[in-house]
Copies of this chain bind each other. A is one copy, B any other.
Amino acid sequence: MAKFQTVDIGRSASAASIIFAALRRAIVEGDLADGEPLRQDEIARSFNTSRIPVREALTMLEQQGLVKTERYKGAVVAGLSMAEATEIFDFRALVEAEVMRRSVPNMTTEVLDTARACLERFAAGSDPMQYGDLNREFHETLYRASALPYHLGVIENAMDRIDRYLRAQLVLSDGMDRARREHLVILDACAKGEAERAASLTAEHIRGARDSLAEHMGAGSR
């Protein structure tokens, strides 16, 4: 049709979506502490907008479970109790194992190479704060082969809820080494086309993180 690169401006960023993305990132990465209040006015000032797009961003965050709002009191970053975090890990183990099972038959060598590159960057880079991003990228690369967008969305949301805790735990223990090893084994199973093994390794990988978190965090927040 058109002889030039086009961009869907219709879907391009509204002020609200920009603010949402920024706040989401800050919460997911743990830059905003659990329970910290999010003042509309303050956020509006820092983005140079009115409070309207801020409010829209906050309702989006609330729908995702990342903040809790009380009428006339405002939004605070939503923390997780240990029970809630554990439940989300179990959920991830269930869903991600199934997605992995259905991904393996579709994995091209390109997918495997991309995932492998992830692990290499992971091994090279020592910045522990970057681990979270690479971890997500590795898993998402493999899962995307499943062509199950709804599942991917649900997984992403679950990850958002626990990512901070995961990051916190990883720097405090041998979590990074262990993740590295497990990722290699998972990738190996994928490369060999062993879907069932890749699935159960994935489930174990996630349950291991769950247990490690439970150990290091004890009774936990809230």
Q: Which residues of A contact B (CB under 8 A)?
A: 9-12, 14, 16, 52, 55-56, 59-60, 63-64, 70-73, 84, 87-88, 90-91, 94-95, 98, 148-151, 154, 158
Contacts and interface: CB of A to CB of B under 8 A. Distances in A.
A70 B8 CA distance: 10
A195 to B, nearest CB: 15
B87 A10 contact: no
Nearest to A56: B59
Contact of A12 (B11, B71, B94): B71
Nearest to A73: B10
What is the total number of copies of this protein in its complex? Answer: 2
A71 B91 CA distance: 34
A149 B59 contact: no
Nearest to A97: B94
A151 B87 contact: yes
A191 to B, nearest CB: 25
Given A56-B55, A56-B59, A94 B98 contact: yes
B149 A87 contact: yes
Given A12-B71, A73-B10, A87 B56 contact: no
B151 A91 contact: yes
Contact of A60 (B10, B11, B63): B63
15 contacts: A9-B71, A11-B71, A12-B71, A14-B71, A52-B52, A56-B56, A56-B59, A59-B59, A59-B60, A84-B149, A84-B150, A87-B148, A87-B151, A91-B95, A91-B150
A100 to B, nearest CB: 12
A94 B91 contact: no
A90 B98 CA distance: 10
A154 B154 contact: yes
A72 B10 contact: yes
A29 B57 CA distance: 28
